[in-house]
Amino acid sequence: MKFHPVLPALVLMGAACFLGCRKVPLTPSAPIPAGSVVFRFTRAVRGPVELSVDGTRIPVQQSPKAAIILQVKGLPPGKHRFFLTSQRETFSPDMGELDLPTDKGLYQVTLTQRLDAVLYGKPDPLPTAEGLPGVTAVLMK
């Protein structure tokens, strides 16, 4: 019996796709409380992550380990513009508009890619984030 050379290539490609692809839940496992937004990253984020909501920088509690969720609490209902950035990762969407309803929160899947940039010297430290009253942001596993 003679094998065609395409067959082993298809088997190797199928194994690579199966092992390399991870499933990211498109819906939350539990309901999101009102006034909250959950950004679910497709890869673990090491941080530091910077978040701006409505043009105001929000202080983000960084995790000592890599995190896959950024949870923002305390936002009032209505439309909010956000901007996500990091020195080590890129996000998609990195900016946009959230329409927060009064009865539930939002769940946003955010594509994440590592950004390995070579920097010479240390970057200037960012000023502390001023934040919005009652709004908190936490990176979680």
Q: How far apart are the C-alpha atoms of 81 and 98, rounded to whole Å?
A: 6
On whether the CB atoms of residues 60 and 128 are closer than 8 A, the answer is: no
Instruction: Give which of 108, 88, 96 is closest to 44, Cα–Cα.
Output: 88
Which residue in the block uniquely carries the two structure tokens 């946003």? 108
pLDDT for position 14: 59
Query: What order do you get walking across the sheet with 67-73 strand by strand?
Result: 60-61, 136-140, 67-73, 37-45, 106-114, 89-92
- Residue segments in the chain with a per-residue pLDDT below the cut of 70: 1-22, 116-121, 123-124
Domain assignment present for residue 130? The answer is: yes
Domain assignment present for residue 13? The answer is: no
Domain assignment present for residue 118? The answer is: yes
Domain assignment present for residue 110? The answer is: yes
- Report the CATH number that the domain containing residue 118 is assigned in CATH: 2.60.40
Count up the domains in the chain and report the number: 1
* Structural domain boundaries, residue 46: 32-140
Q: pLDDT tens for residues 57-90?
A: 999 998 888 999 999 999 999 999 999 998 889 9
pTM more than 0.85: no
